[in-house]
Structure 1
Amino acid sequence: MHYGPVPRPRPDRWAFTVGGSTATGHEHVFDWSDLARLPVHEIVADMHCATRWSALDQRWAGPRAADVLELAPPAVDVRYVLVFAEFGYAANLQVDDLLSARTLLATHMNGEPLPHERGAPMRLIVPHLYTWKGPKWVRGWNYLTDGSAELGFWEQRGYHRRGDAWRQERYAYQEDGPRPGEPLG
């Protein structure tokens, strides 16, 4: 499931950009070969959708998101990221979610290169969060100091800011504290 069409593969135009409040104050742009040099890790993880379906025991492989954070670290006061993908799709996350050893920039699924309809060339896999938090066709992220400054596609439409699948955090009305657009304190 995804919103919008499947993008055409354009490897010659593909880049992964890390911007926003970086430690250096500069945007970092990586091409495919930069990320292909990172160590590849494999995890087995379930995918959980907020619409109440799950795909169990999926094998994912690719570099860890934490390895990209090491190459392009955030400023010290950053607590959030806005992950962006093709066609303007975005999802907001806490930096700690990207730092998880199980969070991957997946390039392979079940031992095969990631198919285009599943997000090739790369998609974000955050196993403990609902699937809308792991965009297909991921292109990078921006570091944010304020978690309410920018909300992702589904969060703007009333979905939970955190989206923890094990806590069944599906909708904004389940959140404690401020609502979208209000400061997180």
Structure 2
Amino acid sequence: MHYGRVPQLRPDRWTFTVGGATASGSEQAFDMDAIHGLEFTEELADMHCATRWSALDLRWSGYRAAEMIELAPPDPQVREVLVFAEYGYAANLRLDDLASPRTLLATHLDGEALTAERGAPLRLVVPHLYTWKGPKWVRGWNYLLPGATDLGFWEERGYHAHGDAWRQERYAYQADDASDEITPRSAR
């Protein structure tokens, strides 16, 4: 599922950018050749939507997000990340969730290359979080320092800052700890 039109794939112009509070203090951009230079891996994972449906045992293939974090590490203070994708879509993630060994920058689903409709060239897959945390057409992320107020598309609209599917963390009002939530601009 997605809102709006599917972006036209232009691999020759595509880049993946890591910015914000990086350890080096500078932004880094990677082309698809650099991404393909990472170790290709596979992960069997479910997909959970906040609208209460799940797709079980999907075979995702691609590259561990943790490897990209190693290539472009965050400042030591960073605990949160804003992942961004085409058309201005973004999602907030904890750095620990992004660095999970199960989190993939996926290029394939069930052995087939992702189509543009499925998120090609890269789709972020974070198996234990709801799907809004794993954007299609992902273009990179910004590391956020404590106190940052950058919000993703759904977090801005009152969805949960963490979004753990197993804890059914759908909406911001469900936060059991105030420090676990980012305050939407509309509530400030």
- TM-score band, normalised by shorter chain: over 0.9
Two-structure CA RMSD over aligned residues (Å): 1.2
TM-score norm. by structure 2 comes to: 0.94
1:128 pairs with 2:138: no
Q: Which residue of 2 aligns with 1:53?
A: 53
One-letter amino acid of the counterpart of residue 90, structure 1: A
1:79–1:147 contact (8 Å) kept in structure 2? no
Note the alpha carbon deviations across 1:75-103, whole angstroms, 9 max, x for none.
00000000000000000000000110000
Shift of 1:41: 1.0
TM-score norm. by structure 1 comes to: 0.95
Q: Which residue of 2 aligns with 1:86?
A: 86
Equivalent position SS for 2:178: coil
1:107–1:114 contact (8 Å) kept in structure 2? yes
Moved over 6 A (4+): none
Q: Which residue of 2 aligns with 1:177?
A: 178
Give the share of equivalent positions with the same residue, in percent: 69
Q: Judging changes above 3 Å, is the alpha-carbon distance between structure 1 residues 84 and 29 closer, same or farther for their aligned structure 2 residues?
A: same
2:155–2:184 contact (8 Å) kept in structure 1? no
1:47–1:56 contact (8 Å) kept in structure 2? yes
One-letter amino acid of the counterpart of residue 82, structure 1: L
Note the alpha carbon deviations across 1:42-97, whole angstroms, 9 max, x for none.
01000000000111110001110000000000000000000000000000000000
Q: Which residue of 1 aligns with 2:150?
A: 150
1:9 pairs with 2:12: no
1:147, 1:107 → 2: CA distance?
33
1:80–1:147 contact (8 Å) kept in structure 2? no
Equivalent position SS for 1:47: strand
1:148–1:181 contact (8 Å) kept in structure 2? no
Structure 2: any 5+ residue segments left out of the alignment?
Answer: none
1:139 pairs with 2:139: yes
Structure 1: any 5+ residue segments left out of the alignment?
Answer: none
Equivalent position SS for 2:153: coil
